[in-house]
Structure 1
């Protein structure tokens, strides 16, 4: 009997040790050395699946990569004020490549980033990503994404496979195609600011969707505010990006129940790109308000109420597994 008790105790100890080894890590990053790590990348390397990284106020230079192996990871600003924690870089795609330019490159499924800023300060002249979202079921809440060209990319690779992201109560800025890709993305209750680049005729494009034609959902901008100090009617809602010239990249964008500033074009709100007509893509609006909204023209297709019932945030993100992070 004693031998059995000893064996059971040993087995229990092994189990507890194993469980502890696989428990989610909770660590703090502080540039001043008052946390567990001084860099975000070091904290990510040390974190386990499902871990939480809390980042103290400060500015953190250089690219942050979250690999696919860190599923369920959370990065959060310590104060809850997104401007207090800034992850910054200034690499352009022209020299670093698309991945290399991204200030934050997030491949981890089921990950959450909240309460911080991610920016690329490179400016005009090249793609220069603030965020490259490359994993499924990602949530970005109370964040700022700041850039100029291609600020936020959702990209799941070529073909019909699709990743999903939910952006909530956040702020995104840029000038050229600054929300783009082929993912299923819901941007909810967010301020989207088009930078004023000083033109009297063309101050850029907000979206560049490359949704595969087999996927019904691409980008949904809902309950949001589109603003700019740019001249009236000089910013397009988006243009039709056939990534790599792919004929099946039939972008899908719906802007619904949002407030549109006077910077939004009346004619030409949707634009051609690289020889492809915007009419080859799936661009619509529904129930928008503000100076930049319209009752509907041939340039501003409006979705019917009956169709809009199937184009909700939940529908965009549900996929085959019923994911529903919507607030």
Structure 2
């Protein structure tokens, strides 16, 4: 174990010194602890079996400012592949809690400027940041040959091309033009991908006959880029493969989603894929015709362990079995296809508040009451899958009020009888039930006075929580307070209120005081997270901070 500290309190004051100290022939892992500080160095790692561990990505920063338009003493430009802040060419390297940045500036001024050039196999990053503008992160290897000049230049020029695998978990990657590019098979899981300006997120050069290129799983696409100014990707070579699985897409994502880079790549060789996209940029009605939205069955193969296994079974994902949050409820909680956007249920976005150790299984369904959910076998399906240490969040009441025989329950009798089946069923499996009172409707009179429309149902839930000593989130009270604070007019933004022509999914407009807009779903999910914290549930430790 080696310690690097910029203040001189460690074994070395520079990371490169520590790397150089490792014997060339060493095949055992070397751990390098990097204390907080700003390390201005152009870092080159050719050795393998190294673990770099920073104190925090916020405070442990490796920075440099080379760029493509910079020239060597002989007048030759650096071009893209000499511009890196860090080059990683060894294998079996893991990196945690570090920031890599290139501060050269905008590509319009300095050209490409890499924060990281990663060209090793079995490389993993956790809780790291990659900051730049154009071409922030290059995931090697280089394509077979350049298009516009005789050579690529850089540390891997002329090296044999080999397949490499990389894994990025809970990382933050920022840039504007093609800022994640290259030929690696790389999984980005639970990352934030931030576009600082208009452009393209990916430019993949996946080699021919390689099954997976870039796969983004549960990532959040954010940034300061203007609305409708960023494409998910464009192909750098003919066989580019990029998939976004269960990702949240901001309004900066273009409706067409993908770009063909001047139509110089044959579309029949490309594999640009989405599944389960949500958020303002998720409407796939206008997506490029040659891209694909896949079904759940096909999406199952896009699991990090499957993608990265290769011939040696490499699995950088934690062996810990994630905790599953099962959601049983009605349409205010359930998930909706992109064709319903901006209508979202609060359960649809709940997973974004937890780290990778939590998976949300949203089994809520529109129109169901505590009774009909059971009668249709939906509770039984959950109890068949739920495991010890999982959670079951239960929110019914909206449809229990309906007078029809299939759904109606009495708050003092049959409603409680049905809810007991949820609580007892979860506990029998060693799981934790959490009762939730029904979220409020938007219900203001002409004078702006709020009216509670749920009658005795929330009181019955509280009674049951006390009877069984079970955790309860009083969402009825929390949402009432939220709506009264916002007021009658402003709360329209939380619900599905759209004027004619405002949204292509609702051309005639809509005024819905029950179902939420994307903004409303996020606000209600925040209240549920607040309740989880207040109840002191163990799962609260897995909430993203």
**TM-score, normalised on structure 1?**
0.83
Contact 2:255 2:284 in 1 (8 A): no
Equivalent residue for 1:271? 259
2:281 is the counterpart of 1:292: yes
Paired position in structure 2 for 1:57: 36
Other-structure match for 2:67: 92
Distance 1:303 1:75 in 2: 37
Residues 208, 238 of structure 1: 8 Å contact kept: yes
* 1:115 equivalent in structure 2: 97
In structure 1, distance between residues paired with 2:277 and 2:168: 19
1:71 aligns with 2:48: yes
Which piece of structure 1 moves more, 175-184 or 300-309? 300-309
Deviation at 1:301, TM superposition (A): 2.3
Matched, 1:315 2:306: yes
1:324 maps onto 2:298 in alignment? no
1:30 pairs with 2:9 = no
Indicate if the aligned counterparts of 2:196 and 2:223 stay in contact, CA closer than 8 A: yes
Q: 2:15 aligns with which of 24, 40, 58?
A: 40
- SS state at 1:204 partner: strand
Partner of 2:447: none
> How far apart, in 1, do the equivalents of 2:35 and 2:79 lie?
30
2:217 matched residue in structure 1: 222
Residue by residue over 1:93-118, the C-alpha shift from the partner in whole angstroms, topping out at 9 and shown as x without a partner, is 23324342111100111101111100
The range that moved more, 271-280 or 141-150, is 271-280
Distance, in Å, in 2 between the alignment partners of 1:314 and 1:288 is 21
Q: CA deviation at 1:316?
A: 1.6
Q: What 5-or-longer segments of structure 2 have no aligned partner?
A: 71-77, 145-160, 319-545
Residue aligning to 1:200? none
- Structure 1 distance, partners of 2:306, 2:138, is 21
Q: Separation in 2 of the partners of 1:190 and 1:317?
A: 17
CA contact (8 A) 2:142 2:182 kept: no
Question: Match for residue 204 of structure 1?
Answer: 199
| 1:215 aligned counterpart, secondary structure | coil
Higher strand share: 1
Distance 1:75 1:278, change over 3 A: farther
User: Higher relative contact order at CA 8 Å, sep ≥6: structure 1 or structure 2?
Assistant: 1
- Secondary structure at the counterpart of residue 41 of structure 1: helix
RMSD (Å) for aligned C-alpha atoms: 1.6
State the 1:296 CA deviation. Answer: 4.4
Instruction: Output the CA distance in 1 between the equivalents of 2:52 and 2:43.
Output: 11
Q: Which residue of 1 aligns with 2:177?
A: 176
Is 1:142 aligned to 2:121, yes or no? no
Q: Do the aligned partners of 2:206 and 2:213 also contact (CA within 8 Å) in 1?
A: yes
Q: What does the per-residue CA deviation read over 1:226-270, in whole Å, with 9 as the maximum and x for residues that have no partner?
A: 00222211110011112xxxxxx4100000101111110112x11
The answer as to whether partners of 1:239 and 1:278 remain within 8 angstroms in 2 is: no
Residues matched between the structures, number: 285
